[in-house]
Structure 1
């Protein structure tokens, strides 16, 4: 193997390992065959990648079932990132907003085609142990629309979003989403009207940082009978006040 081809092989192995790790994002335990099928890899290759991830602490092997789950190293890195982003400083403000409104308040940032929840009030009450709610599609979530609307988003970027996710009420394509983002900027907040889950609405507002750069979004989610049309302006005003407070503590 030449010196030029060696980095390419190492990069491929790293990419495959990260893709395998991504299979566990939902929090479920998986066997070798399941991971191999999802990634389109040979079982032997998958087993080798899983073993490497176990050795580095990113995965644990459950001896009783011979299945794999997320490891302790990720919890350590997660806590470091949580502190570095200073999300813990936002939690009291999220809890206060949730207490006042009766809805669930959350803060999110963007990662690829998703809005990733970094902190949520009433975590156990609102979502239990369902970790799938950690990532929300940009086009069908109020948090995602905020992160798109207050960013230099291109038409090509909108065209690449997975519009097949969401409910029948979510926007069907880039043209419709473009209009929705323009409306979001005009009125100063984003709205998810049962686009991710029937019976639930969410409003989203930007959390501005230095030079008015929007890095985070604040969401307020509740059932339709709580988030009625007449209450939306009041809830938006409260969310904007909280967003300003969080912006101040995050610096």
Structure 2
């Protein structure tokens, strides 16, 4: 006896599974800033039922992506994410850039970092140690492309379509950041002509950032170098000097990234 063929049922199950995964990742995104959150708070932020949110949180705890505080019953980032972060850190070989970031930071008094593009954001992969010039306004790990020097460098030295520029979150940033795709396209053209990206209090009031591409041997820009400091340090008269120092560092890091060598992860 032949069993009935039910492709619609399978597609429904697959779609349901994809939706569950998407919801779980969206829930996990609530903890990106390092906060601890309760079930009701997460449910409210995600627009989900408390029962659904509780199941998703329990699954993320079981996977090690979240931890639950036994006393407060609130959730926070779990240790498994640190493991994945270390794997990505090694696979991208960011450790090769660290000595150069520290040297640049010590020379300028600013903070140096390396980032890559992930969707509509630039994501910091490595940064110099925290220093007093950062004050209490520390830079986040995920930065909007249009409002950050790192993001603008990644865009300016890559092939970017107008459709991509239309998808960027222009509501993020300050009143000084570009307001739309046409203005950003002009800014990217100016960035390439100038030879570096610049963020003048467009992301954090009181801070300026220089961004430079890290060009690989094939001419691609997968990474960018940023140099960030308060406006009291990065005064206009000093910016050209900082740019020249950052250019030297960018070339050194790009050369290091171009050297052969892969990192294997062992159990």
Fold shared by both chains (TM-score > 0.5): yes
Partner SS for 1:221: strand
Greater displacement, 232-241 / 59-68: 232-241
Unpaired segments of 5 or more residues in structure 2?
1-7, 259-267
Q: Provide, for residues 92-149 of structure 1, a one-character-per-residue CA deviation record: whole Å limited to 9, x for no partner.
A: 1000001111111111111111111111112365668988611111111100100111
Looking at structure 2, the residues matched to 147 and 37 of structure 1 have their Cα atoms a distance apart, in angstroms, of: 35
1:217 corresponds to which residue?
A: 224
Q: Provide, for residues 49-98 of structure 1, a one-character-per-residue CA deviation record: whole Å limited to 9, x for no partner.
A: 10000011111011110010010110111111101100011011000001
Unpaired segments of 5 or more residues in structure 1?
none
Looking at structure 1, the residues matched to 47 and 70 of structure 2 have their Cα atoms a distance apart, in angstroms, of: 25
Looking at structure 2, the residues matched to 114 and 146 of structure 1 have their Cα atoms a distance apart, in angstroms, of: 12
Q: Cα gap change, 1:124/1:43 in structure 2, threshold over 3 Å: closer, same or farther?
A: farther
Q: Give the alignment partner of residue 39 of structure 2, picking from 22, 29, 32.
A: 32
2:20 corresponds to which residue?
A: 13
- Provide the aligned length of Structure 1 versus Structure 2: 251
What is the root-mean-square deviation in Å for CA atoms of aligned residues?
1.7
2:4 corresponds to which residue?
A: none
User: Which stretches of structure 1, 4 residues or longer, exceed 6 Å deviation after superposition?
Assistant: 128-132
Query: Which structure 2 residues correspond to residues 92-241 of structure 1 after superposition, within 5 A?
Result: 92-123=99-130, 125=132, 133-241=140-248
Q: What is the CA-CA distance between 1:210 and the residue it aligns to?
A: 3.1
Looking at structure 2, the residues matched to 127 and 33 of structure 1 have their Cα atoms a distance apart, in angstroms, of: 34
Looking at structure 2, the residues matched to 95 and 82 of structure 1 have their Cα atoms a distance apart, in angstroms, of: 17
**Quick check: which has more Rg, 1 or 2?**
2
